[in-house]
């Protein structure tokens, strides 16, 4: 019997699904999948790091419960979200003779979830898929909501599709093997939910930070609260034509920084979001929208979590302000060339601001580069 401590339902009509959260769910995955999807075969997509740390548990579970499976293993890292590796996954699923009613399992962090989900959306004109996220970032954010895709040389996540999973299994025990840096990067996305519209949650994180990092009960509660928050937003705005854009707080700056650092280990996605959230609050202050002390409070909490908060925290040399602005101009929220940012009036008061003047953004980045 699976030990499920939290269940979050994503009510999307015929595309509805559950997020199951609890310890050792990878070990129970075979039984859960066999019961929910009888007679289906599974194509596991994972990366080399997850294959080493977690794949034996999933394979043992599937073999014990009986489902037939095949495995596609890719290199670890953000650079895997590419055309080349998308083709590898699609061709691997076809070579395994998986049929349209079989299921792709995205087994890994956000990179694998995005890539495998996109591959599922286009293989045989659409296969079902299941998310088994193994990082904190994936469990609280990228595995929920149906955004799938790959990066382009022009920018991050510019190629993809909305394709909802059939089930999400968030195994809390998988997080115990994460390097501290990876866990901290995921925690930036946890903090984001408080900063958008839930100041009480941000205050709760400040009080329960140590227990979340230590793996106590607060960890599962934090993940469940984040998933419930995202589920509410996705139900209201599945295709991101309105309020769902708020979930990109910190991401416009963060994605530009990720592109500038070559989608490499110089800057993990969550680290870019961490810096981006501080920049978004500081920029809002410069525009006269938000109190300056909020930026300091947020930065202090993120630093306590081992996260970078300034441009100077990024190893190596950044490209020019013009280069960063070119990346920002390719952001998915750009409309008819006008810049759209998620700004804020304070902690828990984020809002969508369209037609932000590029000159003001450029001047702000210049200021931050010299700070």
Asked about 332 being catalytic, the answer comes back as no
Residue in 269, 281, 301, 332 annotated catalytic: 269
Q: Which residues pair with 221 in a beta bridge?
A: none
Residue in 49, 78, 240, 258 annotated catalytic: 240
315: pLDDT confidence band, cut at 50, 70 and 90? very high
Q: Report the C-alpha gap between 12 and 22 in whole angstroms.
A: 23
Asked about 81 being catalytic, the answer comes back as no
Residue in 57, 163, 244, 259 annotated catalytic: 244
Residue in 57, 156, 219, 230 annotated catalytic: 230
Q: What is the structure's pLDDT at 66?
A: 85
Q: Report the C-alpha gap between 121 and 115 in whole angstroms.
A: 10
Asked about 322 being catalytic, the answer comes back as no
Residue in 251, 259, 301, 332 annotated catalytic: 251
| Residues 74-131 pLDDT 10s | 999 999 999 999 999 999 999 999 999 999 999 999 999 999 999 999 999 999 999 9
Q: Report the C-alpha gap between 74 and 45 in whole angstroms.
A: 8
CATH number, span 180-369: 1.20.1090.10
Asked about 85 being catalytic, the answer comes back as no
Q: What is the mean pLDDT of residues 60-79?
A: 94
pLDDT(2) > 80: no
Residue in 85, 166, 219, 255 annotated catalytic: 255
Asked about 99 being catalytic, the answer comes back as no
Query: 6-177 and 180-369: same fold?
Result: no
Q: Specify the 3-state DSSP secondary structure of 171.
A: strand
Residue in 78, 189, 238, 271 annotated catalytic: 189
Residue 216 Cα distances to 53, 173, 176, 235, angstroms: 21, 11, 11, 30
Q: What is the structure's pLDDT at 1?
A: 63
Helix residue ranges per DSSP H, the chain:
25-36, 48-53, 55-65, 83-95, 110-122, 136-137, 180-197, 199-214, 217-236, 251-260, 269-286, 292-304, 321-328, 358-369
Cα 74 to chain centroid, rounded: 18
Nearest residue to 171 via CA among 4, 1, 52: 4
Q: Report the C-alpha gap between 322 and 156 in whole angstroms.
A: 18
Q: What is the structure's pLDDT at 283?
A: 98
Q: Report the C-alpha gap between 251 and 254 in whole angstroms.
A: 5
Q: Specify the 3-state DSSP secondary structure of 157.
A: strand
Domain segments of the chain: what residues? 6-177, 180-369
Q: What is the structure's pLDDT at 330?
A: 83
pLDDT(238) > 80: yes
332: pLDDT confidence band, cut at 50, 70 and 90? low
Residue in 166, 248, 259, 301 annotated catalytic: 248
Asked about 285 being catalytic, the answer comes back as no
Structure tokens at 268: 């993990």
pLDDT(333) > 70: no
How many other C-beta atoms can be found within 10 angstroms of the C-beta atom of residue 296? 14
Q: Report the C-alpha gap between 184 and 313 in whole angstroms.
A: 15
Structure tokens at 26: 């990878």
* CATH class for the region spanning 6-177: alpha beta
- Is 313:275 a contact under the CB 8 Å cutoff? yes
DSSP 8-class letter at 213: H
Residue in 57, 147, 209, 281 annotated catalytic: 147
Q: Report the C-alpha gap between 194 and 184 in whole angstroms.
A: 16
Residue 179's region, left for phi above 0, alpha for psi from -120 to 50, else beta, is: beta
136: pLDDT confidence band, cut at 50, 70 and 90? very high
Asked about 244 being catalytic, the answer comes back as yes
Q: What is the mean pLDDT of residues 132-153?
A: 96
Asked about 189 being catalytic, the answer comes back as yes
- In the chain, the percentage of residues whose pLDDT exceeds 90 is 93
Residue with tokens 């699923």: 93
Higher pLDDT, 192 or 355: 192
| Residues 24-49 pLDDT 10s | 999 999 999 999 999 999 999 999 99
How many other C-beta atoms can be found within 10 angstroms of the C-beta atom of residue 184? 23
Structure tokens at 31: 């039984």
Q: Report the C-alpha gap between 112 and 47 in whole angstroms.
A: 7
pLDDT(347) > 80: yes
Those residues whose C-beta lies under 8 Å from the C-beta of residue 56, and which sit 6 or more positions away, are none
DSSP 8-class letter at 24: T
Of 4-18, 138-152, 330-344, give the lowest mean pLDDT range. 330-344
Q: Report the C-alpha gap between 286 and 283 in whole angstroms.
A: 5
- Is 227:190 a contact under the CB 8 Å cutoff? no
Asked about 84 being catalytic, the answer comes back as no
Residue 47, H or E segment: strand 42-47
């Amino acid at each position: 019997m699976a030990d499920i401590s939290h269940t979050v339902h994503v009510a999307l009509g015929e595309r509805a699904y559950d997020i199951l959260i609890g310890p050792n769910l990878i070990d129970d995955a075979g039984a859960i999948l066999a019961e929910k999807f009888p007679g289906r075969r599974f194509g596991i997509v994972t990366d080399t790091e997850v294959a080493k740390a977690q794949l034996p548990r999933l394979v043992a579970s599937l073999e014990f419960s009986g489902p037939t499976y095949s495995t596609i293993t890719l290199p670890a890292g953000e650079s895997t979200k590419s055309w080349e590796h998308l083709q590898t996954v699609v061709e691997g699923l076809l070579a395994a003779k998986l049929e349209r009613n079989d299921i792709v399992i995205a087994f890994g962090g956000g990179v694998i979830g995005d890539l495998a989900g996109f591959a599922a959306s286009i293989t045989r004109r659409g296969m079902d898929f299941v998310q088994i996220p193994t990082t904190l970032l994936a469990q609280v954010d990228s595995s929920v909501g149906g955004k799938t895709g790959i990066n382009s040389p022009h920018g991050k996540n510019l190629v993809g599709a909305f394709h909802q999973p059939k089930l999400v299994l968030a195994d809390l025990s998988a997080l115990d093997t994460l390097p501290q840096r990876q866990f901290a990067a995921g925690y930036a996305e946890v903090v984001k939910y408080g900063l958008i519209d839930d100041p009480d949650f941000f205050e709760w994180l400040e009080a329960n930070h140590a227990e979340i990092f230590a793996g106590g009960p607060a960890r599962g509660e934090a993940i469940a609260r984040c998933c419930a928050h995202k589920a509410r937003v996705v139900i209201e705005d599945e295709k991101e034509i309105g309020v769902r854009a708020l979930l990109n707080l910190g991401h416009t700056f963060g994605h530009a920084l990720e592109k500038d650092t070559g989608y490499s280990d110089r800057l993990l996605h969550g680290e870019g979001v961490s810096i981006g959230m501080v920049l978004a609050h500081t920029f809002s202050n410069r525009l006269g929208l938000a109190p300056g002390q909020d930026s300091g409070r947020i930065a202090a909490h993120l630093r306590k979590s081992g996260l970078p908060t300034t441009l100077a925290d990024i190893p190596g040399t950044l490209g020019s302000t013009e280069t960063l602005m070119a990346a920002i101009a390719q952001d998915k929220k750009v409309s008819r060339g006008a810049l759209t940012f998620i700004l804020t009036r304070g902690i828990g008061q984020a809002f969508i601001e369209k037609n932000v003047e590029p000159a003001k953004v450029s001047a702000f980045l210049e200021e931050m580069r010299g700070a």
